[in-house]
Amino acid sequence: MKIYPAIDLRGGRVVRLQKGDYDREQRYELDPLALARSYAEAGAEWLHVVDLDGARSGDSANLAAIETIANQVPIQVQAGGGVRSEADFTRFIDAGVSRVVVGSFAVRDPQAARALLLRYGADSLTLALDARVDESQVFRIATAGWRTLESVALDAMLQDFAADGFAHFLVTDIDRDGMLAGPNVALYQHLRALAPQAAILASGGVQGLDDLAELREVGVAGVVIGKALLDGRFSLTEALA
């Protein structure tokens, strides 16, 4: 299980949102490049970077900062936010990103996402399946910076994309994101059984080292950790150990 420390960027600043709500932002007086270097020095192999401005508006507002990290820090970067077309996708690739996170674009145009898969390969992209429970207690996909709840169910979309040959899936339980309430272990256990061939990255809610042990037991391929590291709940060195 890989640990992906996360850096969320808004207006060039390191921030965290609660449940993806742009009005519930916590800022950290940290330099993104220095933070990325500290994670690499601690031993992380991967870094997860989100352009929150891009996710909301479609503009790659923080791409320059992501490019600086990708080219100046000895770490593989997984990044996304604002990928609405193949041109957006290639901008991240050209910036030195190892794996591009594709969310709303893939959900709304699966055929275009499949074209990216064929052209660039399964290891070049991660499908972001961000979801929250609806009134019927069904997890449904949220898009456009988590502001729009689509009709498609998480289960169906994961199975369809996995069958198409997509390998990497970032699954976020939105209602736990940034809340330090613990990850939805039962959800990831369910998804692992549903698509055992898929490499699932868990995201949202990690608050302590016990959470990591539980997720490893479930068999997720990786865990994205943001707020818990930024708030000093535990160190990246402890997480990697």
Residue ranges of domains in the chain, CATH in brackets: 2-240 (3.20.20.70)
With CA atoms as reference, report the closest residue to 240 among 223, 217, 220, 218: 223
- Identify the pLDDT of residue 76: 98
Average pLDDT score, the chain:
93
pLDDT in tens, 187-233: 999 999 999 999 999 999 999 999 999 999 999 999 999 999 999 99
Let me know if 194 is exposed, middle or buried by CB neighbors in 10 A (0-12, 13-18, 19+): middle
Question: Which residues participate in catalysis according to the annotation?
Answer: 8, 130
Distance in Å from the first CA to the final CA of the chain: 11
pLDDT in tens, 149-195: 788 899 999 999 999 999 999 999 988 877 778 999 999 999 999 99
Q: Pick the residue with more confidence: 25 or 11? A: 11
Pairing of strands 125-133, 46-51: unpaired
Is the pLDDT at 58 greater than 70? The verdict is no
CA distance 24 to 56: 14
- Mean pLDDT along residues 88-114: 95
CA distance 65 to 34: 11
What's the 3-state SS for the chain? CEEEEEEEEECCEEEEEECCEEEEEEEECCCHHHHHHHHHHHCCCEEEEEEHHHHHHCCCCCHHHHHHHHHHCCCEEEEECCCCCHHHHHHHHHCCCCEEEECHHHHHCHHHHHHHHHHHCHHHEEEEEEEEECCCCCEEEEECCCCEEEEEEHHHHHHHHHHHCCCEEEEEEHHHCCCCCCCCHHHHHHHHHHCCCCEEEEECCCCCHHHHHHHHHHCCCEEEECHHHHCCCCCHHHHHC
- Identify the pLDDT of residue 91: 96
- Identify the pLDDT of residue 151: 82
pLDDT over 70, % of the chain: 97
- Identify the pLDDT of residue 145: 66
**Contact residues for 43 (Cβ-Cβ < 8 A; gap 6+):** 236, 237, 240
pLDDT band at 23 (very low <50, low <70, confident <90, very high): confident
With CA atoms as reference, report the closest residue to 32 among 5, 2, 57: 5
11-76-123-152 Cα dihedral, nearest 10 degrees: -30
Give the lowest-confidence range in 12-21, 30-39, 98-107, 158-167.
Answer: 12-21
Q: Which two tokens stand for residue 214?
A: 């539980």
